[in-house]
Structure 1
Amino acid sequence: MKILHKAMAAALGLLLSLSCHALTAEQAFAMAAAEDNDARAAAINAAALEPDEGGRLAAYLQALADDAVRTAGGKAYVIQGERTIDPATGTAATLPADAEEIVNNNYLRGVIESAQAALALTSPDVQARRAAAKKLAEEPDAARLPLIDKVLAGEPDAQVKAMLERAKAASLLGSENTAERLQAVQQLAQIHTPETQLLLNQRLADESDPAVQKAIRSALSSIAESLAWGERLGAIFSGLSLGSVLLLAALGLAITYGLMGVINMAHGELIMIGAYATYLVQVLFQRWLPDSAFGWYLVVAVPVAFTVAALVGAVLERGVIRFLYGRPLETLLATFGISLVLQQAVRSLFGAQNVGVENPAWMSGGVSLLPNLTLPFNRIAIIVFAFAVLGAVAFMIARTRLGLFVRGVTQNRAMASCVGVNTARTDTYAFALGSGIAGLAGCALSQIGNVGPDLGQNYIVDSFLVVVLGGVGQLAGTVYAALGLGVLSKLLEGWAGAVLAKIAVLLFIVVFIQKRPQGIFALKGRSAEA
């Protein structure tokens, strides 16, 4: 029945478009408010084909959409608060006592929205024209073909023209002419989008001509292959994004666990502290600085998150962990208790509910590479940030005095102490550095999800898996393990689902560690075992 209504509306719209110049504005508005739905839809389509002088039609369509139109004696009236307006003249009018409300069904609301989009095609704003063209392409209607041809003749924007070409081809899919349908399928076959795929699938179910059916199947095959590549690339990007998050979360743990052999179960809470430090900086910018400065809050939050988490880590090492070296079980239990204390402290200060951290304007949106592949700017920024942090840590370990002490203590603590290295101070500095990196991870995670007391618990297990798989104390191994696990997880999720993918990754790590206990990269040194 709905298809029949559309066909009747399209036919009436085309007939009226040929003689629309004979309709006065008052007649067009009255027909748009007629009781007969087909006549009303046809009048709306016909009126949308003509220039909208003074914006009267746009205002009338909006009134129809808002259910603010009344009709009496074949004439339409628009209600504006306490006033009644004659839409044909724009002047005040008296509402008859027997006026009835116009009630739109879903089909007519779609007709109104399409007509509003058609009127927007003449807007001087290119973004408005693009949005209007997209709307028409999503809801093709043969009654719009004269308007689309008219706009295409003078449209300078390539994106609008491409969208209108798609709308035209989609509208011709329902043509009674087989040649036109074949031409429409050939044009749509070049547009590899999920919307086009859905449109062609719908047409295939109603198509009776064998030649057109064959063309549609060929087009669907080509579109499916293109979309499959977009899905594969999207999975790889998602894996790299997840891997960069795991890298940030595990990088600090690789330093502390690799240097001192401390099983720090409070590492996740250090990530949480960095996220809450970012939240506080955001609140500070929102309350005390002008709106124009808000985009810079993340630049300030990065060193703040590092410093706060590093200070907490230094206090943790000097107050508890330094007394437990060489006793991994006691260290595990102590840090687990500390993690519970830190979680409860955050709940007491900020509440148990999650807090929202907004993305700066320059991190909102994304870049579209394929019709079904958009790379969010916040994810791209986190990937770049993760490798920037990795580069800074690698430089510090390889080129600075502190890095030399850390490497010396890692390879042979007793010998480093004999040559004058203050191993206790090195332990504190290294633990503070690892904690600060965890704070940076929390700062990054605040940009892609909610911040709450349980934030760190989602990453502590994965962080240990990354460190163990990559090789204890090996930055290169941490990078390979984090990125590898991230990409592998996302690829498996697309094939087997999130739960089975998680199980498969865990089984892979167990088997790998059984075959190679030292991880991807073994620790090298005079005291290291071959």
Structure 2
Amino acid sequence: MKFTHKPWVWAAVASLGALLSFSSHALTAEQAYAMAAADDAEQRAQAINQAVMDPAAQADGGRLSAYLAALSADEVRVAGGKVFVLAGDAATDPVTGGKLSLPADAEEVVNNNYMRGVIDTAQAALALQSGDVQQRRSAAEKLAAEPDADRLPLIEKALAAEKDEQVKTLLQRAKAASLLGSDDAQQRLQAVEQLSHQQTPETQLLLNQRLSDETDPAVQKAIKAALSGIAEGLAWGDRLGAIFSGISLGSVLLLAALGLAITYGLMGVINMAHGELIMIGAYATYLVQVAFQRWVPEAAFGWYLVVAIPVAFLASALVGAVLERGVIRFLYGRPLETLLATFGISLVLQQTVRSLFGAQNVGVENPAWMSGGIALLPNLTLPFNRIAIIVFAFAVLGAVAFMIAKTRLGLFVRGVTQNRAMASCVGVNTARTDTYAFALGSGIAGLAGCALSQIGNVGPDLGQNYIVDSFLVVVLGGVGQLAGTVYAALGLGVLSKLLEGWTGAVLAKIAVLLFIVVFIQKRPQGIFALKGRSAEA
């Protein structure tokens, strides 16, 4: 869009500070026109920056901020040397707020990406005066990411009045980042020194960008030294982040493999439908969420996950009990036939879910108390949903271990597993015990699906991503050994994440698989081998 050059407009822009200082508003008609209708983007950006830096704008930025928001939303029109801000079907004056009649020949002010960036940064500068600390933090982050030496007085003024330590740190980074562009080498050295103490990915990026443009040898040396120190500091965050990610992955594998440790490890059933039982638990969680969204007050929505946990367990346990009674009880002692039968069942379950819910993934929201995370280091944040899954996995592990070791059902399961004929002779209903044990393993798979719904989308193929890894965990840990399952799940999770940092995800997966193959060759019974008569049976 091209506008006729008007000398009086640019005279007004040149004396913008004086005009605004005596104005009762943070915006004048001349300035509003210059910000919208300058001949090119650079002139418009200059007009915007001058307005933001004016003391009157800083004292009363409400009108200017509203006008900038209208510019950003493409709601500004110009005609006959005047500016109009759209307000529904009408138009308003950006200076007085009064209603205006929009001329038929009014032209739209269109912003490119450059202008949108200028406007966003200008709004951030005005937000430094906000009473909301969160708005000031966001504004300081924006100014630190888009440094401008012209805004140094504004940043220093905000820094002097700021009480929040996090905002202060961000403003100090913004100040140092702005000084990096100074023509004075001493000021650039001072900026590098200040940034070297803030070991964050953002400061590392700023210094790397400056290094490519720096010509002074002393400043180049200082930047390289600062980058070396920052890289060393961030390396610890990367290492700890990889370990946490490994523990998080291991907890997911542990949940997925716990049920399989019972159905395969204790009962000898190669259940290829185990992944679909995980999927059923995830969809049960989704249905509970939908029910809460429709019929429960919004304030209670965060409790849906508490209800979803037993629902997911019962849904998968019920499906597992039906499978055991209808198919699997006829195949005990024939593992290859259970593999084929359960593989067919897995296909049926997948298609059933596709027919009911569609082939597309469905989203499950995190409750409010699982959103966010704990920032331990500048480049290390532990998400609450991952922490919750780790705690949940070990809670489920403790409950399963207690049930197997201390309850009547656990005693029956161990008795039937070790010697079915003898258990039957002493009065144990082996058929009922088999159903309960299989339903228990299936229910635990449902709990895994409930947990997985909190870290990703839920779809018909959800379980297929974990079935192979679950079998690897059970075999590596030792068939029938809960302790081995824990060690194998956490070990594989941490090993996978550490290798991913060096080799990438695909090669890491191959390396882990080769490790398991070699380990099983050397120790076929896994990490923990059965001992005594049960091992000889």
TM-score higher than 0.5: yes
Residue 52 of structure 2 corresponds to which residue in structure 1?
A: 48
Indicate conservation of the 8 Å contact 2:16/2:31, yes or no: no
Indicate conservation of the 8 Å contact 2:20/2:28, yes or no: no
Indicate conservation of the 8 Å contact 2:373/2:384, yes or no: yes
Give the 3-state SS of the residue equivalent to 1:176 in structure 2.
coil
Deviation string 1:481-505 (CA, Å, 9 cap, x unpaired) is 0111111111111211211111111
Q: Do the aligned partners of residues 358 and 37 (structure 1) sit closer, same or farther apart at CA in structure 2, a change above 3 Å counting?
A: closer
Tell me the distance in 2 between the aligned counterparts of 1:82 and 1:418: 87
- Which of 14, 29, 34 is the matching residue for 2:32? 29
Q: Are positions 1:167 and 2:171 aligned together?
A: no
Unaligned segments of structure 1, at least 5 residues: 1-12
Indicate conservation of the 8 Å contact 2:276/2:346, yes or no: yes
Indicate conservation of the 8 Å contact 1:14/1:46, yes or no: no
Tell me the distance in 2 between the aligned counterparts of 1:200 and 1:15: 36
Q: Are positions 1:322 and 2:322 aligned together?
A: no
CA shift, 1:19, in A, is 8.8
Tell me the distance in 2 between the aligned counterparts of 1:18 and 1:517: 85
Q: Do the aligned partners of residues 258 and 105 (structure 1) sit closer, same or farther apart at CA in structure 2, a change above 3 Å counting?
A: closer
Q: Do the aligned partners of residues 43 and 402 (structure 1) sit closer, same or farther apart at CA in structure 2, a change above 3 Å counting?
A: same
Q: Percent identity?
A: 81
CA shift, 1:374, in A, is 1.9
- Which of 221, 228, 248 is the matching residue for 1:221? 228
Tell me the distance in 2 between the aligned counterparts of 1:325 and 1:82: 75
- Which of 296, 301, 305 is the matching residue for 1:294? 301
Aligned length: 519
Tell me the distance in 1 between the aligned counterparts of 2:99 and 2:401: 75
- Which of 210, 213, 230 is the matching residue for 2:217? 210
The one-letter code sitting in structure 2 at the alignment partner of 1:235 is A
Indicate conservation of the 8 Å contact 1:397/1:403, yes or no: yes
CA shift, 1:28, in A, is 3.4
Indicate conservation of the 8 Å contact 1:324/1:330, yes or no: yes
Q: Do the aligned partners of residues 286 and 90 (structure 1) sit closer, same or farther apart at CA in structure 2, a change above 3 Å counting?
A: closer
CA shift, 1:106, in A, is 3.6
Residue 120 of structure 2 corresponds to which residue in structure 1?
A: 113
Tell me the distance in 1 between the aligned counterparts of 2:79 and 2:327: 84
Indicate conservation of the 8 Å contact 1:133/1:163, yes or no: yes
Indicate conservation of the 8 Å contact 2:238/2:379, yes or no: yes
- Which of 38, 63, 67 is the matching residue for 2:70? 63
Residue 145 of structure 1 corresponds to which residue in structure 2?
A: 152
CA shift, 1:319, in A, is 2.0
Give the 3-state SS of the residue equivalent to 1:527 in structure 2.
helix
Tell me the distance in 2 between the aligned counterparts of 1:160 and 1:308: 49
The one-letter code sitting in structure 2 at the alignment partner of 1:32 is M
Tell me the distance in 1 between the aligned counterparts of 2:501 and 2:32: 52
Deviation string 1:203-254 (CA, Å, 9 cap, x unpaired) is 1111111111011001111111222222222211111111111111110111
Indicate conservation of the 8 Å contact 1:411/1:525, yes or no: no
Tell me the distance in 2 between the aligned counterparts of 1:529 and 1:224: 55
Tell me the distance in 2 between the aligned counterparts of 1:480 and 1:176: 59
Residue 87 of structure 1 corresponds to which residue in structure 2?
A: 94
CA shift, 1:20, in A, is 6.0
Give the 3-state SS of the residue equivalent to 1:375 in structure 2.
strand
CA shift, 1:267, in A, is 1.2
Q: Name whichever of 330-339 and 44-53 sits farther off.
A: 44-53
Deviation string 1:422-463 (CA, Å, 9 cap, x unpaired) is 322222221111111111111111111222222212111111
Tell me the distance in 1 between the aligned counterparts of 2:321 and 2:80: 83
Give the 3-state SS of the residue equivalent to 1:90 in structure 2.
coil
Q: Name whichever of 81-90 and 200-209 sits farther off.
A: 81-90
Q: Are positions 1:342 and 2:322 aligned together?
A: no
Q: Do the aligned partners of residues 30 and 516 (structure 1) sit closer, same or farther apart at CA in structure 2, a change above 3 Å counting?
A: same
Q: Name whichever of 146-155 and 343-352 sits farther off.
A: 343-352
TM-score w.r.t. the length of structure 2 is 0.90
CA shift, 1:53, in A, is 2.8
Q: Do the aligned partners of residues 44 and 314 (structure 1) sit closer, same or farther apart at CA in structure 2, a change above 3 Å counting?
A: same
Q: Name whichever of 116-125 and 322-331 sits farther off.
A: 322-331
Residue 461 of structure 2 corresponds to which residue in structure 1?
A: 454
Deviation string 1:379-405 (CA, Å, 9 cap, x unpaired) is 111111100000001111111122222
Deviation string 1:307-360 (CA, Å, 9 cap, x unpaired) is 121122122222222221211122211222222222222222222222222221
Indicate conservation of the 8 Å contact 2:250/2:494, yes or no: yes
Q: Name whichever of 72-81 and 317-326 sits farther off.
A: 72-81
- Which of 392, 396, 408 is the matching residue for 1:401? 408
Residue 7 of structure 2 corresponds to which residue in structure 1?
A: none
Q: Do the aligned partners of residues 28 and 410 (structure 1) sit closer, same or farther apart at CA in structure 2, a change above 3 Å counting?
A: same
Q: Do the aligned partners of residues 54 and 267 (structure 1) sit closer, same or farther apart at CA in structure 2, a change above 3 Å counting?
A: closer
Cα RMSD of the aligned pairs, angstroms, is 2.5
Tell me the distance in 2 between the aligned counterparts of 1:54 and 1:372: 34
Residue 250 of structure 1 corresponds to which residue in structure 2?
A: 257
Indicate conservation of the 8 Å contact 1:513/1:519, yes or no: yes
Indicate conservation of the 8 Å contact 2:144/2:174, yes or no: yes
Residue 386 of structure 2 corresponds to which residue in structure 1?
A: 379
Tell me the distance in 2 between the aligned counterparts of 1:16 and 1:151: 22
Q: Are positions 1:312 and 2:319 aligned together?
A: yes
Q: Name whichever of 167-176 and 396-405 sits farther off.
A: 396-405
Q: Name whichever of 196-205 and 70-79 sits farther off.
A: 70-79
Indicate conservation of the 8 Å contact 2:124/2:139, yes or no: yes
Tell me the distance in 1 between the aligned counterparts of 2:17 and 2:425: 95
Q: Are positions 1:465 and 2:468 aligned together?
A: no
- Which of 503, 510, 516 is the matching residue for 1:503? 510
Tell me the distance in 2 between the aligned counterparts of 1:19 and 1:212: 40
Tell me the distance in 2 between the aligned counterparts of 1:346 and 1:82: 48
